Each structure stands twice: as C-alpha cells, then as structure tokens.
Structure 1
Amino acid sequence: MNLADNIATENIEFVILDYNSTDGLEDWVQQNFDQFCGKVAYFRTTQPTFYNRSHSRNMAFRLASGNIVCNLDADNYAGKGFAEYLTAMFQQHNSIFIAPQNNNLSDTFGKISTTKSDFLQIRGYDEAIKGYGFEDNDLKNRLTNLGRTEATFNDTEFLKAITHTEEERIKNEFIYNHLQAIFVENLSYWQSKLTILYKDNTYESAQIIDSMYSNPSIEIETIRPLEFLNRYYILEDSIEKGLFNEDLVANATVVTKQETLISTINFYSQLSNKLRFMDNFHNKRTTVNDESFGSGIVYKNFDYTNPIILA
C-alpha cells in the first residue's frame, strides 16, 4: 500500500530493514519482491538478539541511497502522495526537517524526515537512548541545534497507522525479554523506588519522582511520560545496577498483573531515556554516538555471499 500510494514519485526508494526478525518477513518479501518495481531495497541483519529502535533506524538510514530520508515505522502508512509532499517541501525550503505537529500523539510521532547529509552530520539517533521513548524528541532537538527549522504536517492522510497494544510495542526489546520480576517500593506519596530483576539475577533500580506531588493513588497504567514531559523524572544518581539479593526489595511489592508489568516497563523505559534526552538538551549537543552508529553486518536482497559491513 505504501508503495502503491507513492509509486508516481520518481526516484523513490523504500528500505526494508529486517532486524533479525522471526515473523516470516524475509519469506514474505521474497515472495512479493518482483511486484515492487525495483523501488524496494531489502536488507537483513542476523546479529541482533533483541530490538533496538535507535540502532535499527541508524542502520536503515545509512543504507538508504536517497538525499532525503524519512523514518517510517512498520506500523505506519506513508499516505497517498506523501513522497511528493516531502520532495516539494525540501525543494522549496532550505535547512528544514519535517515531522508531525507536536500535538499529534498518535503512533506516527516518529515519522521524521531530514536530509541524509544532516542525519549523518548529527550522527543519527542517539544509541544511548534504548527502548521506547524520547528518541524522536532527541533527534529533532539536535537537528534544531544544527540550525535546521522544523516544518510540521497535520494532514490526516499522512497520520495513519496500524493500532497495536502496549505489549506489542515492546515485546522484542531487551527489558521485556529478560524480565524476571518488577518490584515497587513507596517511599512517600510522591517518590517510589522501582527495581527490575532480570533472568540472569542482575537488577537495576531507580527512584522516581512525581514533581506535582499530587494524586498519589494514580494507576501506573495511566502514566505516559511522553504526554507529561516535565512531571515525572528519575532522581539523579539514584540508578543502581548489580547482582540481586532479597534485601534490596524487603519493603517492596512485586508487580503481578500483566497489564501493569507492561505499563511499568514502558514507564521506566521512557523515564530512563528522558535522562539522556535532557542531558543532550541541557548540554546543547548536536552530535552523539562518538565511536559509531548503525554499525553491523547486513545482507542485501537475499544475497548472503556478499555481506555489507557498516563500520
């Protein structure tokens, strides 16, 4: 559908990055490849053991051959005429990047377009931001620091996405796949300690602050830090990691409800990423990923005899 809706655009390329998926993506692409009119490039990496959205996007953007790149998550529709819209915008305006309006909180929030040269100059998505949350905010902020102006769109044709559950959003990520248990200790009505126990008997914990000091009975399922950017935060220097022992959670309650577990993982992931985002923001960073970004070995169009090495 994405290709059909934009087939008229000259020199369009859809890059599909198969991030070592196990859902049959490669078979599906191979079966339909001849129908793609030469406008789809399929890449597969067999290295990742869990999904890393910042790293995977960096890989895909580096592999793209065009001068303009746009992130299109697997649950997003491009929209009819979206490629033509992007082409026209970048032809008419210098030094811009394009994103949905900030008041749009749908699953298309990460549909960000920029020139590939600008993307490479800021060294891509920050791979210190792991899991779900704030990777898009951070990218836009650093493009702004580069001197680029944000142009926004709110055309509903460009804001269509497949709906999915919170669990589907994170089920391939590290915390979800390595989780043993989550414990919550209420330190006060505005401060809690969250401890995550992993299957290898390691843990990480952090103290979380509700800066509004209100509504202490709020259900964690309703908390969405991306919607309350300034309200919740992790107390500076409170993050601990190491080998787990029972004394760490002597006064804590284990989370048993599956829905709450999923929401808590999302909550913690976003707050952890917020720390990095705010650090980049306050230090006015433009570039990140000092050593490398989007690195790894990929294979193009089912050719496993000629690996492509992204250093």
Structure 2
Amino acid sequence: MKNKKHKISFCTVCMNRLHHLKQTLLKNIKDNLDYGNIEFVLLNYNSKDDLDEWVKSEMQTYIDSGILTYYKTTEPESFHMSHSKNVVARCATGDIICNIDADNFTGEGFADYVNQMFLENKDIFLATDAYHAIRDCCGRICMKKDDFYKICGYDENMESYGFEDNDLKNRLQLLALSRVNIDNRIFLSAITHNDTERLENDKSFLEFEGVFLRQVDHKSSLVVFLFKNSKCFIGEVIINRLINSESIDNLFIENRKDDDEYSILGDKWETYIWDNIDGHYCLNKTSRILNSIGNKWIEQKNSKDSFSIINDVEFININEYEDILMLTMFYSQITNRNIMKENERTKNIIVNEKSYGQATLVKNFKEPVILN
C-alpha cells in the first residue's frame, strides 16, 4: 500500500493569462514527470490571446503522450471562477484533483508529496494556509475526486472573485474530512501580480457602470453600485474595528471580535434595477425587497465635479480608476463572502442543486465534449 501511486490530475484554467502559463505549465510538468501516474488538464476558458497557437507549437508532444489534456470552450463572455474550476475538475480522470492556478508553480516533486499525504492520512484534503502562504497560492486545493463530486464542486452562485476556495474548504470539512495544510514553501511559489489582472476578466468589473459613496458616520458609509445589466446594489459598509470605538474593549486589536475588516449591514445588498431617464439614473426596487416599491434618483449636478444627488442627499461619484478597481474588488469579495457565510450558517454541504460545470468543449483540438 505504501508504494501505491494515486493518479493525480493537476487542473488549470486560463483566460487571457498566457503570459503566466508560458512561465509555469512546462516547468510544472517537468517538475512532476518522474511521478509517472499523472495528468495535467488545461482548460482554455475562451481565452482571447494566442493560447491555442502556443499549445499547438509548444505542448503538442505532451498531448500526444497523454501527459497533457487540452480543453477549450468558446461560451464564457467573462471569467467565472467557480464555474471554470468545476468544468476543469469534471474533465479530470485522476483519483485526486489538484487545482493549480495559471500563475502557480507546483515545485519539484509536488505529485510525490500529494500522493504521500493521501497514503498517510485517511479522509483528508490538502490546502494552503492563508496566514503563511502568499496570496496567489490560496487557491491550491487537492482533494479526492469522489469528495469533489459529493459536495457538487464549487458554489456557482459565487459569480465573482474571492472566497470560492474558502467555501469549498468549509464544505469539505462539513463532509467530515480533515484539512492538512501544505506548509512546505517549496510547493508554494507563484507569479505575483496586481488586482487589475485579477479582475480584468471578471464579470463585475466588465459590467461596471458606476459607484456612488456617502459617509454615514465614523464607522460606516453607504455605497451604491450600478452595473450595465441594469442591476443596482446598495449597502451600508461597516468598518468592524470601529463599531465599538468608544469602548475600552476595542482599544487593542486582540480584543476585537470580528476577523473581517468590513461587513455589510444585514449581510446582504439591497437589490434594485436602474434605468437612464432624461439623463438621470432612476432606481426601482425589485420584487425581492419586501417593502413598498419606491423610486430613488441619482442626478449628476454638473460635469465639473464628482458629486451626485440621491434623494436630495449628496453622494460622491467615484471615478478614479484605482478607486473603482478597489471598490469592485470589495463588491466581489463581500458578495461571495456572504454566500459562504450563508452556507456555513445552514451547514450546506451540497451546492449547485440542478447542475454544475456545464460546458460545450473541444478536447485536444478535435474531439467534441459536452458536460451536462
């Protein structure tokens, strides 16, 4: 039994990240070839760069030998982290699935390490420790394929960036699996990059229309997000460390009770639809809000300043790129975190009740594959 070698599938998704993949994929293959019972599964998630051409010219040998399997879908218009990871995992044929982001290096001998961990420990999954690993390695999760299917993969209600990995780990633990941290830094190396690259293909960022901000008091601000799909989300953002700022109990960091730096009042956004009427944004509450339907107006005062009016109250119209990027990241992470918290609260192990990882694919440039 100690000499058993599980088949390990290293799963990578790429959308417009060829510049990263050129640095990582070939090295990752070479660093693990000695293991033998291994496959790399690469999903082209409708990448608009030269990924096809590069794979054909540089990686065909590994496709022919069965080391690399290449899938492509032309369906997605934006990057959906949870869906893409579900698709590539469903394409894997190994006993163990390991997510390797396009900017990650596995490190030499990682496959042997993974195999040994699963031989020595029963009912486990491997993950990185966010407090000791660099941020770009936090998506590294290795699990038995059967366990992935038991929890129905990543929660596809999380459409944007952030917390989908944390949620998956939580649900694996609810499945009575023990978490084993990957603590060897040899296996935790990645190409660092900024938030622009993290969000440039994200649905929220691509559909962003505008954001308005008004400070309520020292600890909270009201934020209004508008998206091109006519959806609007409004929430009161709270700085958690300032909630009890007048109390001596909040004087020292170790006394603060909330691990999250920010939260949304009520842990959910108020949802509206908006339209542009005579040069004004008109917001109408959707039927999901259980009170009387009312109108709110956002009116640009003039083109020389950044202030706007909502129900006769002055808001700041955020229009600096870096501020928009930061707030879009905030929106994405807060939204996904609230979904994760709801799954925690309800002890929801199984998500995606109807289906998950649906896609129409082409395998190795020639074979059509449909995942229902």
Using the size of structure 2 for normalisation, the TM-score is 0.77
Q: Find the counterpart in structure 2 of residue 243 from structure 1.
A: 274
Residue pair 2:233, 2:269 contacting (<8 A) in 1 also: no
Does the alignment pair 1:262 with 2:325?
yes
Shift of 1:238: 4.1
**Distance in 1 separating the partners of 2:166 and 2:264:** 18
Give the equivalent residue in structure 2 for 1:234.
Answer: 264
- Pick one of 143, 163, 167 that aligns with 1:138: 167
Query: Equivalents in 1 of 2:49, 2:212: separation in Å?
Result: 32
| 8 Å CA contact retained: 2:82, 2:159 | yes
Specify the SS of the correspondent of 1:8. helix
Question: Is 1:307 the counterpart of 2:355 in the alignment?
Answer: no
* AA aligned opposite 2:77: T
Out of 343, 350, 357, which is 1:287 matched to?
Answer: 350
Residue number in structure 1 paired with 2:359: 296
Structure 2: how far apart are the matches of 1:232 and 1:239?
A: 17
- The residue aligned with 2:66 is 38
The Cα RMSD (Å) is: 1.8
Counterpart for residue 194 of structure 2? 165
Post-superposition offset of 1:214: 6.5
AA aligned opposite 2:49? D
The 2-side partners of 1:186 and 1:140 are apart by: 35
Query: What is the aligned partner in structure 1 of residue 42 from structure 2?
Result: 16
Larger RCO, structure (CA 8 Å, separation 6 or more): 1
Tell me the percent identity.
Answer: 35
1:288-311 deviation per Cα after TM superposition (whole angstroms, max 9, x unaligned): 0101111111110001xx421111
Matched to 1:230, the amino acid is D
Give the letter aligned to residue 106 of structure 2: A
| Counterpart Cα distance in 2 of 1:69 and 1:202 | 36
Paired residue total = 298
Q: Is the 8 A contact 1:206 1:240 kept in 2?
A: no
Q: Counterparts in 2 of 1:29-178, with a 5 A limit?
A: 29-36=55-62, 37-103=65-131, 104-178=133-207
Higher strand share: 2
TM-score (norm 1): 0.91
Q: Which has the larger radius of gyration?
A: 2
Unaligned runs of 5+ in 2: 1-26, 246-257, 276-280, 283-296, 299-307
Identify the range of structure 1 (96-105 vs 47-56) with the bigger mean alpha-carbon deviation: 96-105
More off after superposition, 8-17 vs 194-203: 194-203
Structural mapping, 1:182-261, within 5 Å: 182-213=211-242, 229-236=259-266, 237-244=268-275, 245=281, 247-248=297-298, 250=309, 251-261=314-324
